[in-house]
Structure 1
């Protein structure tokens, strides 16, 4: 009987998905968004406010992080690859409607969710979070510079800012949950490459 160990299978082929610039934009945006969410929680949850204290400092950190939130995306426009990603995210095709219908039916069969580099869910999320960020920035500025707008505008801005912040928190929790359930997608954002098998399964219309 031979005791020779079996030769391990060669690792799967890796395909390039994100450049360093694209990964930097995602990480910087995520960090700033995280600061905004955490500081907002400290400002609005009494128990956290008492625990942390230093409310004035928390307010300033929240304001600075909010103002800086668009910066990574704006700086990322220097990258040709990032601009190409934005074009992909802004284009909806017939396959995206098929993907959304399959997602609503919870259909996970092979081939039921055709997708290019980004699937329809990622496109919807990117569009929504971009719009929500702009609304939060605008309403936040109205709340910060109180002398620039009438009281009614500031009151409305506060209402929109608070409730949209809560909605963003819920959506971000879902986004993080989806990421935790897909280690290969996280690896792509961490290293820039994904396995060819994953790419063919999750993004069959994508041609790296």
Structure 2
């Protein structure tokens, strides 16, 4: 059993949270998403565009980071653990509704959750729906006239509004991650303490074996 020294001096029991393949998917997709969002900000806001310069390079980076964004997820389908996590993210359990009610009411304290809480499931589902919209509208803007029935102005409007929504949600996601060092360690190293899992993901902790 793998363990680390806790605050009491006793070894802490550890759980495997993510495999190397899952962490690779997350890191690669996150990098592409940040490049896409960063270049979009530089292209959209004139002060940033003037500060960075090299508009053509920014456009190329933005276009290709957006096109490549689904690739890590598709490659991750080769991993059994990643496919299992996708199934978890795609299903709302009865305790997920309890989690959402607790958040809505502002109830403090532990909330029921499996490996992913209801908020993470909603975030993942939203991103999964937003990325294809961004890709489709981006292609319409890139290849003008491919679908003449959809005006380019409409594609730009949908692309910009969705991009703004993604930016807001992404900032919220990173803010929550920043506030939880143990969750970041789970994504960085693949392991978390059983105590953290019991507090934040009790249903998953009950079914997980120690390393």
- The TM-score with structure 1 as length reference comes to 0.93
- Structure 1 equivalent of residue 120 of structure 2: 122
Q: CA deviation at 1:56?
A: 1.1
Which secondary structure state, in structure 1, belongs to the residue aligned with residue 138 of structure 2? helix
- Structure 1 equivalent of residue 64 of structure 2: 64
Q: Deviations over 1:52-79 (max 9, x none)?
A: 1111111011000000000000000000
What is the distance in 2 between the residues matched to 1:115 and 1:81? 19
Which secondary structure state, in structure 1, belongs to the residue aligned with residue 9 of structure 2? coil
Q: Deviations over 1:77-120 (max 9, x none)?
A: 0000000000000011111100000011121223xx21110000
Q: Deviations over 1:25-76 (max 9, x none)?
A: 0000000000000000010010111111111111011000000000000000
What is the distance in 1 between the residues matched to 2:109 and 2:37? 36
For 1:37-56, list aligned pairs within 5 A. Answer: 37-56=37-56
- Structure 1 equivalent of residue 95 of structure 2: 95
Structure 1's unaligned 5+ residue stretches are 1-7
What is the distance in 2 between the residues matched to 1:130 and 1:32? 15
- Structure 2 equivalent of residue 26 of structure 1: 26
Which secondary structure state, in structure 1, belongs to the residue aligned with residue 134 of structure 2? helix
Alignment equivalent of 1:197, drawn from 173, 191, 195? 195
What is the distance in 1 between the residues matched to 2:135 and 2:89? 22
RMSD: 1.3
What is the distance in 2 between the residues matched to 1:39 and 1:148? 25
What is the distance in 2 between the residues matched to 1:108 and 1:18? 27
Q: CA deviation at 1:154?
A: 1.7
Which secondary structure state, in structure 1, belongs to the residue aligned with residue 103 of structure 2? helix
Which secondary structure state, in structure 2, belongs to the residue aligned with residue 13 of structure 1? strand
What is the distance in 1 between the residues matched to 2:158 and 2:66? 15
Which secondary structure state, in structure 1, belongs to the residue aligned with residue 188 of structure 2? helix
Q: CA deviation at 1:152?
A: 4.5
Q: CA deviation at 1:151?
A: 7.0
Alignment equivalent of 2:129, drawn from 118, 128, 131? 131
- The TM-score with structure 2 as length reference comes to 0.92
Higher Rg:
1
- Structure 2 equivalent of residue 3 of structure 1: none
Which secondary structure state, in structure 2, belongs to the residue aligned with residue 146 of structure 1? coil
